[in-house]
């Protein structure tokens, strides 16, 4: 099955190639589930971050390719493609794999994935690479699809103060009103982290945003 059948433009058409100056692009993937019922849930923080970045740049993430909604922006000298896979969380890797292939990207240098992290307290943010999925189904899908753990991840803590019995139910339920201010600040911080990675480099961004001892 060719890329066109999978939702990518036919090779040779490549409608975004004219936008790229040197053939390279950075891919920022926010993880989440499509559908209004999931929009403001912990598991959709990745979607919310790329939406925040797009809003700051005055663009909408509405182009469809490779089973994802996408938008293109420029950050410093870097052409950037924002993407929200429409495959649902557990199959995120299939869309990411197609985007990586379409733009001939190297995951270790060209891919940043923004995810929620139930192991971190709400409001915590860490930038990591070369890590296991730690049980995150979206990351597990991407690792399997790309056959590598070597890509940058912005991990955003969503764990509540009190332990929940059903983590999956919590992740798919709307944020509490009392948490919204913290969530809003975390979205701004994550958008800043993406910009820092692209303009200052991953090491500098990690030094800046991973202020507490790594977990």
Q: What are the domain boundaries of the chain?
A: 23-209
Candidate list 43, 52, 84, 155, residue with the active-site label:
43
Q: Pick the residue with more confidence: 191 or 212?
A: 191
Q: With 0-12 CB in 10 A as exposed, 13-18 as middle and 19+ as buried, what is 208?
A: middle
Strand partners, 134: none
Helix axes 202-209, 180-200, angle to 10 degrees: 150
pLDDT at residue number 120: 94
| Residue 128 annotated in active site | no
- Using one digit for the tens of pLDDT, what is the confidence trace for 159-188? 988 777 677 899 999 999 999 999 999 999
Pairing state between β 111-121 and 26-30: parallel
Pairing state between β 111-121 and 68-75: unpaired
Closest by CA to 35, choosing from 91, 76, 81, 84, is 84
pLDDT at residue number 76: 87
Task: For residue 148, give the DSSP letter.
Answer: -
- Using one digit for the tens of pLDDT, what is the confidence trace for 41-92? 999 999 999 999 999 999 999 999 999 999 999 998 899 999 999 999 999 9
Q: What is the pTM of this model?
A: 0.90
Architecture per CATH, 23-209: 3-Layer(aba) Sandwich (3.40)
């Amino acid at each position: 099955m060719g890329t066109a059948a999978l939702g990518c433009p036919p090779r040779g058409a490549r409608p975004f190639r004219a936008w790229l100056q040197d053939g390279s692009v950075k891919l920022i993937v926010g993880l989440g589930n499509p559908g209004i019922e999931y929009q403001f849930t912990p598991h959709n923080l990745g979607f919310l971050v790329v939406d925040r970045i797009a809003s700051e740049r005055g663009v909408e993430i509405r182009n469809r390719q490779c089973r994802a909604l996408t938008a293109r922006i420029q950050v410093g000298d870097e052409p950037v493609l924002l993407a929200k896979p429409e495959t649902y969380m557990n199959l995120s890797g299939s869309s990411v794999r197609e985007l990586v292939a379409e733009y001939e990207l190297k995951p270790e240098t060209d891919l940043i994935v923004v995810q929620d992290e139930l192991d971190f307290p709400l409001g915590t943010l860490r930038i990591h690479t070369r890590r296991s999925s730690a049980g995150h189904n979206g990351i597990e899908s991407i690792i399997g699809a790309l056959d590598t753990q070597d890509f940058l991840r912005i991990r955003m803590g969503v764990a509540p103060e009190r332990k929940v019995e059903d983590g999956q139910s919590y992740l798919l339920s709307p944020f509490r009103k009392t948490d919204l201010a913290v969530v809003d600040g975390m979205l701004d911080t994550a958008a800043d982290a993406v910009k820092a990675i692209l303009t200052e480099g991953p090491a500098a961004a990690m030094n800046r945003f991973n202020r507490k001892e790594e977990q």
